[in-house]
């Protein structure tokens, strides 16, 4: 399976993501400029962290109109894997590929640290390498990671099991229900604020992100994605 990592002006986790994919799975991973519309060659697509377009207006509000997002939408509709990390999660929300919105952290400070995160589901193509209820350690680095959804949307997310990652212990940003990551109803689009690509080697402080990349690689093979 081939992986694409979309590069927007202002992305700063793109090469970290490419390296993580290659080092953990050995798979082919390409850095793809945001103006490319056709992403049909890829079975999995990453929207990386950073500050796309300088976070003008709102994080992800301009990137949602990038030409590559047409390919991202088609990939999601086709059942291919799509994951947005940090700013990538914000872009998926702005594009309507996931429900809800991001607000400023409730303490109005930028948080950059390794935090405990609980894996709520281990039956998705992104989490099959974990155990349900497992608490892992992943870095966060954001000023607007406070996930918000109205009561009805939040209740539906919980009822349908779409909350995949949840902050364990202290809530670092005020996110409702301590949400750290959610999937769409089909389960093939994931948005998460913590950075698994920064947790693939012990010397980074944690290697708990490795299982996410392995899970995606295995799911791609099983589903015979591109």
What residues are labeled active site? 86, 195, 197
Q: Three-class SS of residue 170? A: coil
- Phi-psi region at 183: left, alpha or beta (left = phi > 0; alpha = psi -120 to 50): beta
The CA-atom distances, in angstroms, between 136 and each of 56, 66, 133, 223 are 32, 33, 9, 27
The CA-atom distances, in angstroms, between 146 and each of 22, 27, 38 are 31, 33, 32
Contact partners, residue 196, CB within 8 Å, separation at least 6:
20, 85, 138, 208, 209, 210, 212, 213
DSSP H or E run through 18 = helix 14-25
Q: How far is 166 from 172, CA to CA, in rounded Å?
A: 11
The CA-atom distances, in angstroms, between 157 and each of 91, 142, 170, 177, 181 are 19, 23, 21, 11, 11
Q: How far is 133 from 122, CA to CA, in rounded Å?
A: 8
- The residue with tokens 């299982």 is 211
- Residue 87 contacts residue 51 (beta carbons within 8 Å): yes
Q: Three-class SS of residue 10? A: coil
């Amino acid at each position: 399976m081939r992986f694409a990592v979309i590069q927007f002006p202002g992305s700063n986790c793109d090469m970290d993501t490419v390296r993580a994919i290659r080092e953990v799975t050995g798979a082919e991973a390409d850095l793809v400029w945001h103006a490319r519309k056709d992403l049909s060659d890829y079975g999995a697509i990453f929207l990386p962290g950073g500050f796309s377009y300088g976070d003008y207006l709102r994080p992800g509000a301009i990137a949602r109109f990038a030409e590559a997002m047409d390919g991202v939408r088609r990939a999601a509709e086709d059942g291919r894997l799509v994951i947005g990390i940090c700013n990538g999660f914000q872009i998926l929300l702005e594009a309507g590929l996931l429900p809800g919105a991001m607000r400023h952290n409730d303490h109005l400070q930028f948080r950059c640290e390794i935090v405990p995160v609980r894996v709520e589901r281990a039956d998705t193509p992104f989490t099959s390498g974990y155990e349900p209820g497992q608490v892992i350690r992943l870095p966060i680095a954001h000023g607007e990671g406070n996930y918000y959804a109205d009561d009805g949307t939040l209740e539906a997310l919980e009822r349908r099991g779409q909350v995949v990652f949840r902050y364990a212990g202290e809530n670092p940003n005020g996110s409702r229900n301590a949400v750290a990551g959610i999937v769409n109803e089909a389960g093939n689009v994931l948005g998460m604020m913590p950075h698994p690509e920064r947790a693939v080697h012990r010397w980074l402080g944690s290697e708990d992100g490795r299982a996410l990349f392995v899970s995606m690689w295995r799911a791609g093979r099983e589903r015979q994605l591109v």
